[in-house]
A and B are shown apart, each in its own frame.
Chain A
Amino acid sequence: MKKPIYLDYSATTPVDPRVADKMCSYLTPDGEFGNPASRSHPFGWHAEEAVEEARANVAALIGADPKEIVWTSGATESDNLAIKGVASFYGKKGKHIVTCKTEHKAVLDTCRQLEREGFEVTYLDPEPNGLLDLGKLEAAIRKDTILVSVMHVNNEIGVIQDIAAIGKLARERGVLFHCDAAQSTGKVPIDVNAMNVDLLSMSAHKTYGPKGVGALYVRRKPRVRLEAQMHGGGHERGMRSGTLATHQCVGMGEAFRFAREEMATEIERIRGLRDRLLNALKDMPEVYVNGDLENRVAHNLNMSFNFVEGESLIMALKDIAVSSGSACTSASLEPSYVLRALGRNDELAHSSIRFTIGRFTTAEEIDYAAALVREKVAKLRELSPLWEMHQEGVDLSKVQWAAH
């Protein structure tokens, strides 16, 4: 068993070796290195064929037509293009956007920017289980609302929003619906038509493809219009200029093809591992799963270990690579905004660890990780004055703390 053990698949996945092999044949002089936009020779034609085959594979995973796929540099760019592109094009029709407080920063910060440009944004609170209340969403839609943006799967807690119901609601109200699916491709079945999604952001590197490439689905029927955010040679039907990175597109296409073919069996295997981890930890005192366990992707376990601070726990868990909901490692000292939005108290928000399991995780690794977590949480609790107070029966919420 190689250490540290990688349990941070929601941050990024390794490129599947089968995908990397194929990518390598689109780089070197003896490979298909041409510019897919070159129309005058076979180098260009072959590269274009490869890009179009990849585009078809991306489209197939989400039930779209290949003509509806726009290549981008990743989900962040896709989110920017979708939200700013809609805002610029439909800004005359209305200036109101509805989203959720637990969205990825690529959506939230894009909305903040639009607020500075005169748009109005409603940030909905999720329910304590992380899911949106559709009644609250419906109530937030106004006459001047042009866009609803809700993510499919949350990156921190892994909960799955009811995209089909949100899409149906948006369609009925005549509002465009953008969905950030960076965390759901290959993890949850997606059908943009059944779900009434108008725009869908995707990333390659969360689904065993390479970093630096993503895609945006843009519906054609009924047609969704976007104002381009990147101008130049008019690539991607004018929506996103810039020479396509053939090997990156090929990598994403191949990764998404494997996702489509292997998802059903892979999800069940990974769910088994996640449940194995959960079962090994859940009898500990004062541990809490963050986010709904039912409506949740199979590979995510986000747990708070009360009275232990997340950053010190991560430090103790140096043999496993996990992430903390506590952002103390950045200068902010703020606990996870996602957990705060769920209404978790500060102690629990500061005590959270996200385990995300993937294609190359083994049962042996899970057992090792579980034993390590149990040992280190016990050790840190022995060090924790909060744990001591809890043992003495002190109600921590009633203590007057001197904030600093």
Chain B
Amino acid sequence: MAYSDKVLDHYENPRNVGSFDKNDAQVGTGMVGAPACGDVMKLQIKVNEQGIIEDAKFKTYGCGSAIASSSLLTEWVKGKSIEEAGKIKNTQIAEELALPPVKIHCSVLAEDAIKAAIADYQTKTGKGSKADAA
């Protein structure tokens, strides 16, 4: 399968790879997917007191498109409020990376990952959830 240049760029030079301490109160962790399906994404956000995502990191087991989707997402969410980040749609990711139809699920997984990370952060801090955390 031919990958787009943007997928190749993120795949070969993934941004923000790594992990935060998941027990840190500032950190929200989203882990989505399953090994049985061939992709697992772990996305972590570090949120400051103003509710702004200061930093984000990811690790992904999956195909090139899954790695690129999560790498792109970490770039996008940095500097955004958690409300804004929660509104990112998979279609935006798919469009930016020019994902073919069989790879749309990779962008869906990335959307699920950020929502899960936000929900985890909100549960931890006890702040009411405004974003629809799926």
**Which A residues are within 8 Å of any B CB, using their own CB?**
307-312, 315, 326, 328-331, 333, 335, 345-347, 350, 382-388, 396, 401-404
Contacts and interface: CB of A to CB of B under 8 A. Distances in A.
B60 A402 contact: no
B80 to A, nearest CB: 23
Contacts of B105: 333, 404
A212 B64 CA distance: 34
B34 interface: yes
Given A312-B64, A384-B61, A404 B11 contact: no
B34 A404 contact: yes
Nearest to A401: B34
A402 B36 contact: no
A388 B59 contact: yes
B37 A404 contact: yes
Contacts of A312: 11, 62-64, 66-67
Nearest to A346: B36
A312 B101 CA distance: 18
Given A312-B11, A315-B11, A404-B109, A385 B59 contact: yes
A404 B64 contact: no
B32 A315 contact: no
B25 interface: no
A292 to B, nearest CB: 25
Nearest to B11: A315
B59 A309 contact: no
B64 A383 contact: no
Contacts of A335: 38
Interface in B30-82: 31-42, 59-64, 66-67
Main secondary structure of the interface of B (DSSP, over half): mixed
Contacts of A388: 19, 42, 59
B15 to A, nearest CB: 11
A347 B33 CA distance: 12
Contacts of B64: 311-312, 315
Given A311-B64, A333-B105, A383-B59, 13 more contacts: A308-B61, A309-B61, A311-B38, A312-B64, A315-B63, A315-B64, A328-B63, A345-B35, A347-B35, A350-B35, A388-B59, A401-B34, A404-B32
B40 A386 contact: yes
A386 B39 CA distance: 10
Contacts of A308: 61
Contacts of A330: 102
Contacts of A329: 1
Interface of B: 1, 3, 11, 14, 17, 19, 31-42, 59-64, 66-67, 101-102, 105, 108-109, 112
A403 B37 contact: yes
A328 B39 CA distance: 10
B130 to A, nearest CB: 23
B35 A346 contact: yes
A326 B38 contact: yes
B4 to A, nearest CB: 13
B61 A307 contact: yes
B39 A315 contact: no
Contacts of A382: 17
B95 to A, nearest CB: 20
9 contacts: A310-B38, A328-B38, A335-B38, A382-B17, A385-B60, A388-B42, A401-B36, A402-B33, A403-B37
A315 B3 contact: yes
A191 B44 CA distance: 61
A402 B34 contact: yes
A95 to B, nearest CB: 36
Contacts of A333: 37-38, 105
A385 B61 contact: yes
Contacts of B32: 402, 404
Contacts of B62: 309, 312
B39 to A, nearest CB: 7
A401 B33 contact: yes
B35 A386 contact: yes
Given A335-B38, A347-B35, A401-B33, A309 B17 contact: no
Contacts of A403: 34, 36-37
B132 to A, nearest CB: 17
B99 to A, nearest CB: 13
Nearest to A347: B35
A50 B32 CA distance: 62
Nearest to B63: A311
A174 to B, nearest CB: 43
A385 B41 contact: yes
Nearest to B34: A401
Nearest to A350: B38
B115 to A, nearest CB: 12
